[in-house]
Amino acid sequence: MKFLEQAPRFLFFTGKGGVGKTSIACATAIELAEAGRRVLLVSTDPASNVGQAFGVGIGDKITAIDAVPNLFALEIDPQAAAQAYRDRIVGPVRGKLPEAVVKGIEEQLSGACTTEIAAFDEFTALLTDVAITSGYDHIIFDTAPTGHTIRLLQLPVAWSGFLEAGKGDASCLGPLAGLEKQRAQYSAAVDALADGRRTRLILVARAQNSALREAARTHVELAAIGLHQQFLVVNGLLPKEEAALDALAAALYAREQAALAATPDALRGLPCDYVPLKPFNLVGIDALRQLFVETPPHLDAAVGEAVELHAPSLSELVDGVAADGHGLVMLMGKGGVGKTTLAAAVAVELAHRGLPVHLTTSDPAAHLAETLHGSLDNLTVSRIDPRAETERYRQEVLRTKGAKLDAQGRALLEEDLRSPCTEEIAVFQAFSRIIREAGEKFVVMDTAPTGHTLLLLDATGAYHREVARMLDARGAHYTTPMMQLQDARRTKVLLVTLAETTPVLEAANLQADLRRAGIEPWAWVINNSVAAARPRSPLLRKRAENELAEMEKVATTHARRYAVVPLLRDEPVGAPRLLELAGHATEPA
């Protein structure tokens, strides 16, 4: 592996949920330790399964992995770190400020950015404290901080009092209120990250257009702030020999090769490694040792002979949606799970039944909207441009809140407006103009904001004022979007995930986030299931078997109702294939 050659002291692995960065980080740690190096593996992933991968309990204390001499591991619990962080910041103002203000601060500190900054606060010592790290040749981090977080830590501004002064908008600056005393330590940590002699960043992706685009964005963002020592690992490639055994495998192989051929230009200059798809779950030391080893070309044909799967189809789930005759259907989930495609599939299935549907999407690749436009009676499609809406929102905030700020305050506000929440807020304001149609037809909404963002919007009143402005002028009675989203009779939220460990954990965390905002998800959708596709390839059959445990968790622990969507041979573009995806029609085996 190129990324292991002359490995520096610090190795950071980053990538979207479900691409396999934890498995690759664990396999790297084993390889270096078995080469005689003393290694500490640190996870700051909210959905960490490092302990599960090694088959031992780890937790928040450095733990020796007995089966691998020289290897030690540590799991920083980002949720616990974030709670301690919140308590440290909110405690001094509790009882001194009005309760409503305190609640607003707590919500400001409840999002993903707080968790990330709190985790960074925890592992900063591992980058800077010689007393802790002197005993290790390599320190490997599963989940690197984002460019946004690092830029926030670099801003030369005093954070204290920021929230109470009301200068910010609803996003990620709240967590910075308690950092002033640690700025020197953070500066040293950021310097270590940017030093290519000490640090290497490994971008992990799958051979999928969305995952490669995400890796390219991360590369550009981190390179812009000085992290130039980057490598790319494309994980989970289907071996070519499997393509000869099965029509599904052949289609997947062709799709992956096309994605690799279209790799974004930003990634083409990076050193790159390719890791083949394995037929087994990467749990346990023996399995992890095999990750970087070539898999034998053929598996025993008897392995995974028949995967019996009896699960509801998306079409069956739509039966319950269609019964109401109209309403808002929101699809939510982490990046890369297929929200946009499933939103289109739900819309097409409803329209096919003769029901009026408006599909609204913020999909940057507008091919779905183009393909569906006019292709079915009862269906209209609109696309919201996230960049245009975000820029419009940014300019409005800078014009109003930024008008009276000094240069430092304006720099802080501008960074605030680069946060992940900003696009969600801006896009949802655009969506909110369409939501009112749900009283007369179905509105299917792709790329919905998280519960944290909705609570921030509720606290600031941003979209309430927008709705009020539009409807008060007519003297009309109105329901704000937040009120509508909390009304289960009007809104159905579908959580989209994959039948893999990390995506299921992330969806469960998102469900908890929504419940905090008073929104109860109506159903889960497990997308791109290999088991539901009934493959003939021995490798894919074994992968199908591995999905069953995650499906069982969804069905019995997380979801009130659920559906399973098969992995299709062809990209699901166009009404006929979307109907097939929903289970309305089945392609012959």
Instruction: Look up the domain containing 535 and give its range.
Output: 314-385+434-582
DSSP 402-445: TTT--HHHHHHHHHHTTSHHHHHHHHHHHHHHHHGGGGTSEEEE
Alpha-carbon distance values, 540 to 252, 503, 543, 564, 587 (Å): 11, 19, 5, 17, 18
Question: For residue 299, is it within any domain?
Answer: no
- The rounded Cα 546 to chain-centroid distance in angstroms is 22
**Residues 282 and 354 grouped into a single domain:** no
18 is catalytic: yes
Question: For residue 418, is it within any domain?
Answer: no
Three-state SS at 308: coil
Q: Could you give the CA distance from residue 131 to residue 334 in angstroms, rounded to a whole number?
A: 38
Q: Which of 16, 44, 45, 149 is catalytic?
A: 45
Q: Could you give the CA distance from residue 58 to residue 44 in angstroms, rounded to a whole number?
A: 13
432 is catalytic: no
Question: For residue 410, is it within any domain?
Answer: no
**Residues 268 and 361 grouped into a single domain:** no
45 is catalytic: yes
| Predicted local distance difference test score (pLDDT) of residue 453 | 63
196 is catalytic: no
Question: For residue 238, is it within any domain?
Answer: yes
| Predicted local distance difference test score (pLDDT) of residue 524 | 98
- The rounded Cα 61 to chain-centroid distance in angstroms is 27
| Amino acid identity for residue 212 in this structure | L
**Residues 378 and 470 grouped into a single domain:** yes
| Predicted local distance difference test score (pLDDT) of residue 273 | 96
| Predicted local distance difference test score (pLDDT) of residue 461 | 47
**Residues 149 and 91 grouped into a single domain:** yes
Of 256, 289, 322, the position where a domain reaches its end is 289
| Predicted local distance difference test score (pLDDT) of residue 480 | 65
**Residues 320 and 283 grouped into a single domain:** no
**Residues 199 and 337 grouped into a single domain:** no
Q: Could you give the CA distance from residue 109 to residue 210 in angstroms, rounded to a whole number?
A: 29
**Residues 170 and 285 grouped into a single domain:** yes
Locate tokens 């309990």: which residue? 57
Tens-digit pLDDT profile for residues 140-188: 988 766 665 665 555 544 333 443 444 444 445 555 555 555 667 777 7
| Predicted local distance difference test score (pLDDT) of residue 581 | 86
Q: Which of 14, 23, 43, 146 is catalytic?
A: 23
**Residues 219 and 332 grouped into a single domain:** no
Q: Which of 43, 502, 529, 537 is catalytic?
A: 502
Closest-CA residue to 213 (of 365, 89, 90): 365
Question: For residue 398, is it within any domain?
Answer: no
Q: Could you give the CA distance from residue 300 to residue 538 in angstroms, rounded to a whole number?
A: 7
Of 233, 254, 289, the position where a domain reaches its end is 289
Question: For residue 34, is it within any domain?
Answer: yes
20 is catalytic: yes
**Residues 41 and 140 grouped into a single domain:** yes
Q: Could you give the CA distance from residue 205 to residue 211 in angstroms, rounded to a whole number?
A: 5
**Residues 14 and 59 grouped into a single domain:** yes
Q: Which of 14, 22, 114, 143 is catalytic?
A: 22
Question: For residue 407, is it within any domain?
Answer: no
CATH number at residue 499: 3.40.50.300
87 is catalytic: no
Q: Which of 17, 20, 147, 583 is catalytic?
A: 20
**Residues 369 and 507 grouped into a single domain:** yes
| Predicted local distance difference test score (pLDDT) of residue 166 | 42
Q: What is the 3-state secondary structure (H, E, C) of 517-580?
A: CCCCCCEEEEEEEHHHHCCCCHHHHHHHHHHHHHHHHHHHHHCCCEEEEECCCCCCCCHHHHHH
Q: Which of 14, 15, 16, 21 is catalytic?
A: 21
| Predicted local distance difference test score (pLDDT) of residue 295 | 62
| Predicted local distance difference test score (pLDDT) of residue 334 | 79
Question: For residue 396, is it within any domain?
Answer: no
**Residues 265 and 335 grouped into a single domain:** no
Three-state SS at 255: helix
Q: Could you give the CA distance from residue 589 to residue 586 in angstroms, rounded to a whole number?
A: 9
Tally of domains within the chain: 2
| Predicted local distance difference test score (pLDDT) of residue 52 | 75
Low-confidence ranges of the chain (pLDDT < 50): 156-171, 301-304, 366, 460-467, 470, 586-589
- Strands of 199-206's sheet in order across: 63-64, 71-75, 39-43, 138-142, 10-14, 199-206, 230-237, 272-276
Q: Which of 15, 17, 18, 327 is catalytic?
A: 18
66 is catalytic: no
